Every structure is written in C-alpha cells, then in structure tokens.
Amino acid sequence: MQAQLDKILEEAKAQLKEAATMAQTDEIRVKLLGKKGKLTEILRGMGKLSPEERKSTGQMANKVRSEIEQLLEEKFEAVKAAAKEAQFRLEKLDVTEPGKETILGVKHPLTITIEEISKVFTNMGFSIAEGPEVETVFNNFDALNAGPNHPSRDMTDTFYITEDILLRTQTSPVQARVLMKEKPPIKIISPGRCFRCDTPDATHSPMFHQVEGLVVDEGVTMADLKGTLDSFAKQLFGSETRTKFRPHHFPFTEPSAEMDVSCFKCGGKGCRVCKGSGWIEILGCGMVHPNVLKVGNLDTEKYTGFAFGMGVERVAMLKYGVDDIRLFYENDMRFINQFK
C-alpha cells in the first residue's frame, strides 16, 4: 500500500511539474482527489481493511493526500501568478511614448471668404437664400431682363444642358426664385457656384463662386445701396476703406454701378495689387429693374430694391494675395494649409 501511495505521489509531482494552466492543474486534482480519483478510491477501499491496517494505511493515505493538496495549492498559486504576469505584459502601457498626432483638416480659402462675406451681411440683418446650380434659362436670363439677344446667352459663354436648362452663369437667378416665393421686406444674400465656358488661365475658371444680394421693400433707395455696400467694404477690408461707385450696365438693374474699394494694400497710393490706380473693383450693383420686380408680381410703384453680386475668388485673391485662380481648385495641401 505504501508503495502504491508513493507512486501516486511521484506521479502527481511529475504531472504538476508539467502543468502550465489552471485547467491542466485542475484536471490533475480531479484525477487524484475527485469522486473517481485514484487517492479517493484508495481511501474508499479502506472500509474493507481490518481496524489495524485501516489505522496505519489511513495515516499514510492522509499524509499523501495533504501533501498532494499542498502541492496543488502551490501550483494553483503559481499558474495564477503567471497568468496575471502574462496579462500585465500584454496590457503594458508606455506612458513615455509620444502620442500620435491627429491631423485636423482646414477650411478652404474660398469657404473662409464666403463665411466672412456672409457674416458681414447676416450681421446687417440679411438671411441666406439658396438656389440650384442647374437652372432654367428663364431664371438665369429671361426673369433677369436679359433680352433674347443678350450676348451672355451665347453657347460659347454658357453651358447649356438642354434648350431650357443650363448651368447658372451667375447667382442672380436666386433673385428671381426669391421674388417668386417671398413677399417684401426681402433682404437676402446667396453664395454659390457658377459656370461659364471660359478657358482656364490665371484669372478665369469655368467654375467659380459668387455672392448675390437682394433687398426689396417700400422706399429702398440708392442711398441704402451705397450705405450698405460701403459698410460691407469697411467691415471686410478695414475701417479705413473708401468706396467709389462707377456707372455701369447690367440688364437686371437700373441704374447700375460697379463699386471700387480703395486699395487695402497701399491705402490708395498705387501698388502692384491695385495696378497703380489706388482702387480695386469689387462688385456689380444697382437698383432692381422694374421688369425683375414684376417677376414677383410686385407693385413697382410701391416697391423698390437694390441688388449686388461679387466674385468670391476675386475677393479671396485680393485679400490673400493669390495670383492664380487655379490654385483654389488643385487641392494642393501646401497651398490650402496656409489659410489655417
């Protein structure tokens, strides 16, 4: 019996030496001390022995059992510690490692410019209206008093989709849309994309942006136009800025004008930016033509209004000293990142 018990102990030691996990260790425990375990069977079989034998064998078996229990406990502790150790190694965090830089996107200079222009006008009580880039010929030309033979209707200037549909050549058709939908007082601006059949060069692009403006109410005068646009120029280009209105012609306004601002680079002395003149042309404007007001079925005796339109690229080029319009559309990050 002693030999049998010694063998069990030796085997247990050998097996436990090999065990590397909790599961393996527990398997050994079950094989020895479980209900059908080897040692359990021996202890159970002692009932058949004589009282003397039972005493001595019992002592031996109990000694082996407590020894095995001790060994099992030590092994459990060891594999538990090893598992913890392995997990720590896996979850190790080096707090001295440098962080990964998250690269933030930047706003496109044209977006920045549109936002700056919009902010000036919304602060003056304008709201923002939107219109589609694919427009009707009616809204882009007819509703804006551009006669059937107006040169801008030419196929060589305008992208036609069908005879009646085109890519808008200006943001002015939003004027027609707003007049057909809303009643005065109207006070809107409308930034957006425009398209013209232009060959790209340093100052031309077949796709470009404009901001349109329209104010219609009772008693709106040219003085309101000048006051509003002069205030806009001072807010956008600096409070020292002076403005000048030169007579011009647009089909949808009468009278029409172009507004120049005193050069914000040289203050009016003459430099490269203003080409020596001291003045920079910024926008077209005028008093809304009665024929346009009629598109909104308005009583032209009662209502008057003014309108304006400016090129966003032109403003951005002047403000940021960009000398080629194509730079805006190349998405070269070295260019874009300069406007952070």
| Buried/exposed code over 277-316 (b: 16+ C-beta within 10 A; e: otherwise) | ebbbbbbbbbbbbeebbebbebeeeebbbbbbbbbbbbbb
Q: Which is nearer to ligand DAH, 141 or 308 (CB)?
A: 308
Which listed range, 15-23, 71-79, 282-290, 331-339, lies at the site for ligand DAH (CB under 6 A)?
A: 282-290
Give the span between the Cα atoms of 280 and 264, in whole angstroms.
9
Which range touches ligand DAH (CB under 6 A), out of 97-105, 217-225, 293-301, 303-311? 303-311
Among 136, 139, 170, 241, binds ligand DAH (CB under 6 A): 170
Using CB under 6 A as the binding rule, whether residue 309 contacts ligand DAH is answered as yes
**Cis, peptide link before residue 255, omega less than 30° from 0:** yes
253 binds ligand DAH (CB under 6 A): yes
CB 271 → ligand DAH: shortest distance, Å?
Answer: 26
Residues with Cβ within 8 Å of 159's Cβ and at least 6 positions away in sequence, in order, are 166, 167, 195, 196, 197, 206
From CA 180, how far away is CA 298, in angstroms rounded?
10
Q: Which stretch binds ligand DAH (CB under 6 A): 34-42, 105-113, 129-137, 281-289?
A: 281-289
57 versus 190: smaller Cβ distance to ligand DAH = 190
CB of 144 to ligand DAH, least distance (A): 8
CB atoms within 10 A of CB 54: 14
Q: Which residue among 212, 260, 281, 313 contacts ligand DAH (CB under 6 A)?
A: 212
Between CA 140 and CA 134 the distance in angstroms is 10
Measured from the CB atom, the residue of 135 and 212 that comes closer to ligand DAH is 212
Minimum CB distance to ligand DAH smaller for 205 or for 253: 253
Radius of gyration of the chain (CA): 44
List the one residue from 286, 292, 303, 325 that touches ligand DAH (CB under 6 A): 286
**Distance between start and end Cα atoms, the chain:** 88
Q: What residues pair up with 261 in beta bridges, in sequence order? A: 243, 280
Contact (Cβ atoms closer than 8 angstroms) between residue 285 and residue 229: yes
Can residue 172 be called a binding residue for ligand DAH (CB under 6 A)?
yes
Pairing state of beta strands 134-136 and 127-128? unpaired
Member of 250, 264, 279, 303 binding ligand DAH (CB under 6 A)? 250
CB of 285 to ligand DAH, least distance (A): 5
**201, two tokens:** 């060069």
Does position 145 interact with ligand DAH (CB under 6 A)? The reply is no
Interface with ligand DAH: number of residues (CB under 6 A): 11
Beta carbon of residue 178, minimum distance to ligand DAH (angstroms, whole number): 12
Task: Tell me whether residue 274 or residue 282 sits nearer to ligand DAH (CB atom).
Answer: 282
Q: Applying CB under 6 A, which of residues 236, 308, 312, 328 lies at the interface with ligand DAH?
A: 308
Q: At what angle do helices 22-33 and 51-90 cross, to 10 degrees?
A: 170
Ranked by CB distance to ligand DAH, the top (closest) residue is 309
- Alpha carbons within 13 angstroms on the beta-carbon side of residue 316 total 24
Where do contacts with ligand DAH occur on this chain (CB under 6 A)? Answer: 170, 172, 212, 250, 253, 284-286, 307-309
